[in-house]
């Protein structure tokens, strides 16, 4: 079987013909060059307006890298024609295997982008003997195509989350679709301000926002405000994951303060290495940690009391009726407000303030799965960790869309990866 036969099977282009392939020796790695020529009867297509126009002249041959065969590079060689277009002037023709100025064919870009979902970009570059920049450009191409061709209709639930990037207080805003049948990342903003989220929702569109039935977020004030204003008809649900995380942080603050005080007063350091015992759920403790927890429980420590309040709060999520859940919430807040655990009281105050939003959790029950935002949050963190060395916002943005956006891709690309 000849290489042309294979190429005609996987990448046939009307109006163009593959010539006789040949090995080249001048390149750094084994390379097959495949000349391409235009059929004599086909007129070139203007890249400006997409119409067939009379040819003007021919440029010097250019190389376009195709998907490698058995790790042998495959390169198309073609001399682009220029057209004389009455509308666009003298411009270069459009060819079906490549877009714009890229040295890679579109098929190869989809191929690399497909692998960049499974491996880190650096790994893709080294496995396929290409550069990190080429991998990034391929992902950029795939993401741009996917964003244009994705379908936003029918979305009824979104979650808004923030995620830390770089060191210090830099946060990205992430908007997810969290419908049962369609879970994906929809939008990324480079801050967590009101203006940022507002811009994101505007980009998703008026129709999109008015079709929403549920929105889900944490207690970050700018999000609450913008969601109320842009998606006022939707039921706003506070995300369970974030509330439990806040309680965890409060316990940690109590523990740290108490450990410091005890050390000053010369008590033995019972709180040393206890951090994980207090933060973990009982069923997740290791044997050794369970012993530590028993030891801690012997003392009537503030940390322990804080821990018990948090454990008690777990019951909140198990209610079926918003009325009873509301009653539990009020009692829990009263108990905490009587304690002298300042960090926990802070959380209780904010829960009280957002009581109606908290109780919306029960109105949305069964619609929004509890772990969905947490799951996305973990995947986003993993993507960012895997892409270490990404300092540019654009690169992180591309990686997140590519990994979590569930973006569509053209049917024809599936056969390569």
Contact positions toward Zn ion, by CB under 5 A? 46, 48-49, 85, 87-88
Contact 165/383 with Cβ under 8 angstroms?
no
Using CB atoms within 10 A of its CB, is residue 96 exposed (0-12), middle (13-18) or buried (19+)?
middle
- Please identify, using beta-carbon distances, which residue of 96 and 248 lies nearer to Zn ion: 96
Task: Give the HSE-up count for residue 61: Cα atoms under 13 Å, Cβ half-sphere.
Answer: 11
Smallest gap from Cβ 45 to Zn ion, in A, equals 9
Candidates 200, 245, 195; CA nearest to 218 is: 245
- Please identify, using beta-carbon distances, which residue of 49 and 147 lies nearer to Zn ion: 49
- Please identify, using beta-carbon distances, which residue of 34 and 83 lies nearer to Zn ion: 83
How many other β-carbons are positioned within 10 Å of the β-carbon of residue 311?
12
- Please identify, using beta-carbon distances, which residue of 46 and 124 lies nearer to Zn ion: 46
Cα torsion 86, 91, 92, 94: sign:
negative
Contact 18/7 with Cβ under 8 angstroms?
yes
Smallest gap from Cβ 83 to Zn ion, in A, equals 7
- Please identify, using beta-carbon distances, which residue of 3 and 49 lies nearer to Zn ion: 49
Structure tokens belonging to residue 95: 């060819």
- Please identify, using beta-carbon distances, which residue of 50 and 205 lies nearer to Zn ion: 50
Separation in Å, CA 108 to CA 91, 127, 219: 25, 14, 44
- Please identify, using beta-carbon distances, which residue of 85 and 247 lies nearer to Zn ion: 85
Smallest gap from Cβ 46 to Zn ion, in A, equals 3
Smallest gap from Cβ 149 to Zn ion, in A, equals 24
The β-bridge partners of 136 are none
Q: Which residue matches tokens 């008590």?
A: 267
Smallest gap from Cβ 101 to Zn ion, in A, equals 18
Smallest gap from Cβ 52 to Zn ion, in A, equals 10
Write down the H helix ranges in 237-341. Answer: 240-264, 275-279, 287-298, 302-313, 322-338
Smallest gap from Cβ 49 to Zn ion, in A, equals 3
319 CB contacts (<8 Å, ≥6 apart)?
Answer: 325, 328, 362
What's the first-to-final CA gap in the chain, in angstroms? 22
Smallest gap from Cβ 88 to Zn ion, in A, equals 3
- Please identify, using beta-carbon distances, which residue of 48 and 96 lies nearer to Zn ion: 48
Cα torsion 379, 382, 387, 390: sign:
positive
């Amino acid at each position: 079987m000849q290489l042309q036969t294979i190429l005609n099977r996987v990448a046939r282009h009307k109006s163009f013909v593959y010539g006789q392939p040949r090995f080249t020796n001048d390149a750094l790695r084994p390379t097959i060059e495949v000349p391409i020529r235009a059929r004599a009867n086909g007129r070139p297509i203007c890249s400006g307006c997409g119409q067939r126009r009379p040819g003007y002249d021919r440029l010097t041959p250019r190389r376009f890298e195709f998907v490698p065969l058995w790790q042998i590079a495959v390169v198309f060689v073609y001399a682009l024609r220029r057209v004389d277009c009455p509308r666009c002037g003298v411009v270069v023709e459009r060819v079906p295997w490549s877009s714009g100025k890229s040295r890679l064919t579109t098929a190869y870009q989809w191929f690399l982008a497909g692998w960049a979902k499974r491996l880190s970009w650096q790994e893709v570059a080294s496995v396929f003997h290409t550069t990190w920049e080429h991998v990034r450009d391929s992902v950029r191409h795939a993401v741009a195509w996917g964003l244009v061709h994705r379908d936003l209709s029918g979305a009824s639930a979104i979650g808004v989350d923030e995620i830390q990037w770089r060191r210090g207080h830099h946060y990205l805003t992430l908007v997810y679709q969290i419908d049962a049948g369609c879970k994906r990342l929809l939008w990324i903003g480079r801050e967590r301000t009101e203006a940022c989220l507002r811009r994101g929702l505007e980009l998703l569109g008026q129709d999109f926002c008015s079709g929403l039935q549920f929105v889900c977020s944490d207690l970050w004030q700018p999000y609450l405000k913008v969601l109320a204003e842009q998606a006022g008809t939707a039921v706003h649900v506070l995300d369970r994951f974030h509330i439990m995380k806040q309680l965890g942080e409060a316990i940690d603050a109590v523990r740290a303060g108490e450990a410091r005080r005890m050390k000053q007063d010369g008590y033995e350091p019972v709180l040393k290495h206890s951090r994980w015992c207090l933060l973990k759920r009982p069923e997740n403790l290791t044997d050794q940690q369970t012993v530590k927890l028993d030891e801690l429980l012997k003392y009537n420590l503030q940390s322990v009391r804080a821990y018990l309040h948090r454990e008690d709060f777990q019951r909140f999520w198990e209610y079926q009726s918003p009325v009873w859940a509301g009653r539990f919430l009020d009692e829990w807040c009263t108990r905490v407000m009587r304690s002298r655990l300042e960090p926990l009281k802070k959380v209780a105050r904010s829960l009280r303030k957002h009581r109606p939003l908290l109780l919306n959790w029960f109105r949305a029950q069964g619609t929004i799965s509890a772990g969905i935002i947490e799951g996305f949050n973990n995947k986003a963190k993993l993507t960012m960790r895997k892409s270490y060395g990404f300092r540019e916002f654009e690169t992180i943005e591309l990686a997140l869309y590519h990994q979590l956006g569930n973006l569509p891709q053209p049917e024809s690309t599936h056969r390569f990866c």
